[in-house]
Structure 1
Amino acid sequence: MTLISEKGYAGASVEDIAEHADVARGTFFNHFPRKEALISAWVEARQERLMERLALAGLGRCGSERERPSPADGLRQCLAVLGALNEEEPELSRAMLTAWVQTGRPLEEEPYLGEILAELVAIGRARGEIATRLSSEQVGEALRDLYLGALYRWTRRAARSERPGRLSSELASALELVLHGLAVPERLAGDGRVEVLTKWRPPFGNRRPAEAEACRARPGVRGIGAVTAGQLDLALLCDDEGNGVRITVLGPLHGVAGGLSAEIVVDTPFVAGRLTLSLWRSRLTSWAEALDRLEAGEDVALLHVQRGPSVFIHLNGARHCPEVVVEDGLVSMTTVRVPIDLPADWVTTHRALLAAVLDGWDGHLSQT
């Protein structure tokens, strides 16, 4: 690798590399079937070093929850490690990055870095510290793109004999822009850094039928979020044991005509979390049919999405009471079962909630 640092990947032939390593050309091919295999070896070694340093920083996949820093600090540390890895061997990093791009590797390899970043984002979403407008995978991919873009610019400046500057500083500045975009404005610190990226909202709100207001008033219900102007609840399932599942329509689905953006909020004394989903008129029609079947005593899927979150209601669950099952089959691959002692008239309440959503968004919804 020393020779590649000096001559660049293209400028160092197999013969040059073998001579520099004091081995025969055939010996080189015993270890590497072709020159391009050096790129794969470098990428694998870089991945190992990255995982080792993340583990030391408490960000390893096997690290305990208590040892982990906050999600925002975790993302900062991850990008700081990436910057340091490149700055420790700047010539080699630039040479191998150039070769990595020229040989088409970004299009062929699995985006392992995006997966690592998505895991950090998912932890923040589960803690209620990162907004849920986008999936963890989308944010992870965006952060990977941010890293690669900064890395490309850093490499290009050096190739033009310009001062490349500190890669780690550029990464830190770019990340702060993203964190500010993810943050709830009220929680930004005075110095511009993000203290906590979002916060839980207390229960249910003030714009719903009287039956839902009675649910909100139950003393055991913990706060799983108040709707704000322009938002409508589609489901309010809660009991006096502190268990709750809420589905809220947030507004139009950005960039997609005829759809609505919504979120599922689960809150129990043991587990809490949020998931985003998209709604269409066809799904709301299926919702109405599911309520009819529930009233007839059938277990149903209130919302079943092949590539997204699903919600099922079992009228006689494992604890011999109604059970709401929330499945996240796309991001966290997690299933949460919430036993909820529902009032006798809860189906009537939810027909009223559905009617309010359909009436409020009738002109916007498509049949997709």
Structure 2
Amino acid sequence: MDEPVEKEPRGARRKRETRARLLEAALRLSAERGMEGVAINEITEAADVGFGSFYNHFESKEAIYLALVEAVFEDFAQGLDRLTLGLSDPAEVLAVSIRHTLRRAQREPLWGRFLVREGLSARAASQGLGQYLLRDLHKGIAAGRFKAEDPPMSFMAVGGTVLAVLSAQLHPGSLDASLTGRLDLPVAPRDEVPERAAAMVMRMLGLSTAEAADLVRRPLPEAEATDPGWSGRAVRD
């Protein structure tokens, strides 16, 4: 006979739900304006939480920002690690990570906007996705898969490329009417953008055009492992 599942105390459940609402509100507001432009009272109002209750969960705005970076970036980065666990080629690991990141941003624009806003900050670059990207680049260089005479610049080039493509995805048509029109370039179907971006990064890191194309055509691993778990549900628009 199965043992009865212990019910979560009401107080603990309310505390967890309040914390999740605060994080969700901080995510939405910082995705729009950046955390520097958001006040604590705006977070509590958006979360429908009393101002004083904020300090039951976070010591400061910096504290909720760090928790948010961990929840959004660190959780996703760890999910990518689980997703690519069976892959031995550092180039494929990075290509899969780029494709999944861009596809998730397509599915979850709010998450994508937060990544664009915070992805280039010094704090975000040294945590979560930033530190995982740097690690994967070093692995690829050590294995001889990537050619990078200046690893820090390669790190910035790869990160900047992904964020630029991600930003373009969030503003459909922004390139169609300008760059692609002036250069007489065909507009890439939205579903192909993650693969084209990953292939470009692979070529930038020294892989041949043929090998890069082969890598990004491979089936992606299942994506369930990258779903966010901090609030019990994905935060979507």
Quickly name the TM-score band, shorter chain normalised.
Answer: 0.5 to 0.7
Q: Is the 8 A contact 1:18 1:25 kept in 2?
A: yes
Report the Cα distance in structure 1 between the residues aligned to 2:123 and 2:74, rounded to whole angstroms.
19
2:149 to 128, 134, 138: 134
The alignment partner of 1:193 has SS state of helix
Report the Cα distance in structure 2 between the residues aligned to 1:100 and 1:32, rounded to whole angstroms.
20
Q: Name the counterpart of 1:281.
A: none
Amino acid at match of 1:75: L
Do structure 1's residue 69 and structure 2's residue 88 form an aligned pair? yes
Shift of 1:159: 11
State TM-score, norm by structure 2.
0.55
Report the Cα distance in structure 2 between the residues aligned to 1:142 and 1:27, rounded to whole angstroms.
42
State TM-score, norm by structure 1.
0.38
Q: Is the 8 A contact 2:40 2:61 kept in 1?
A: yes
Report the Cα distance in structure 1 between the residues aligned to 2:81 and 2:68, rounded to whole angstroms.
20
- Cα-to-partner distance string for 1:144-195 (whole Å, 9 max, x where unaligned): 111122233334x2698x9xx988843431231232244465x835x94369
2:77 to 51, 55, 66: 51
Q: Name the counterpart of 2:67.
A: 41
Report the Cα distance in structure 2 between the residues aligned to 1:76 and 1:92, rounded to whole angstroms.
20
Do structure 1's residue 146 and structure 2's residue 156 form an aligned pair? no
Shift of 1:79: 1.0
Counterparts in 2 of 1:116-265, with a 5 A limit?
116-131=132-147, 133-155=148-170, 157=171, 169-183=192-206, 185=208, 188-189=210-211, 192-193=213-214
Report the Cα distance in structure 2 between the residues aligned to 1:16 and 1:90, rounded to whole angstroms.
21
Shift of 1:116: 2.0
**Relative to 1, partners in 2 of residues 1:27 and 1:136: Cα closer, same or farther, differing over 3 Å?**
same
Amino acid at match of 1:71: P
- Cα-to-partner distance string for 1:50-70 (whole Å, 9 max, x where unaligned): 2331222235xxxxxxx3331
Q: Is the 8 A contact 1:115 1:140 kept in 2?
A: no
Q: Name the counterpart of 2:106.
A: 87
Q: Is the 8 A contact 2:145 2:207 kept in 1?
A: no
Amino acid at match of 2:156: E
Q: Is the 8 A contact 2:140 2:146 kept in 1?
A: yes
The alignment partner of 2:138 has SS state of helix
**Structure having greater relative contact order (Cα 8 Å, sep ≥ 6):** 2
Report the Cα distance in structure 2 between the residues aligned to 1:120 and 1:130, rounded to whole angstroms.
10
Q: Name the counterpart of 1:26.
A: 52
Shift of 1:118: 3.1
2:126 to 99, 111, 119: 111
Say how many residue pairs are matched. Answer: 177
**Relative to 1, partners in 2 of residues 1:2 and 1:148: Cα closer, same or farther, differing over 3 Å?**
same
Q: Is the 8 A contact 2:90 2:139 kept in 1?
A: yes
**Relative to 1, partners in 2 of residues 1:110 and 1:182: Cα closer, same or farther, differing over 3 Å?**
closer
Q: Is the 8 A contact 2:103 2:194 kept in 1?
A: no
**Relative to 1, partners in 2 of residues 1:29 and 1:79: Cα closer, same or farther, differing over 3 Å?**
same
More helix by share: 2
Amino acid at match of 1:177: M
Report the Cα distance in structure 2 between the residues aligned to 1:32 and 1:167, rounded to whole angstroms.
39
Shift of 1:41: 2.6
Q: Is the 8 A contact 1:118 1:139 kept in 2?
A: no
Counterparts in 2 of 1:310-321, with a 5 A limit?
none
The alignment partner of 2:132 has SS state of helix
Report the Cα distance in structure 2 between the residues aligned to 1:124 and 1:81, rounded to whole angstroms.
19
Supply the RMSD in Å over aligned alpha carbons: 4.1
Q: Gaps spanning 5+ residues in structure 1: where?
A: 60-66, 196-368
Aligned identity (percent) is 23
Larger Rg: 1
Amino acid at match of 1:31: H
More strand by share: 1
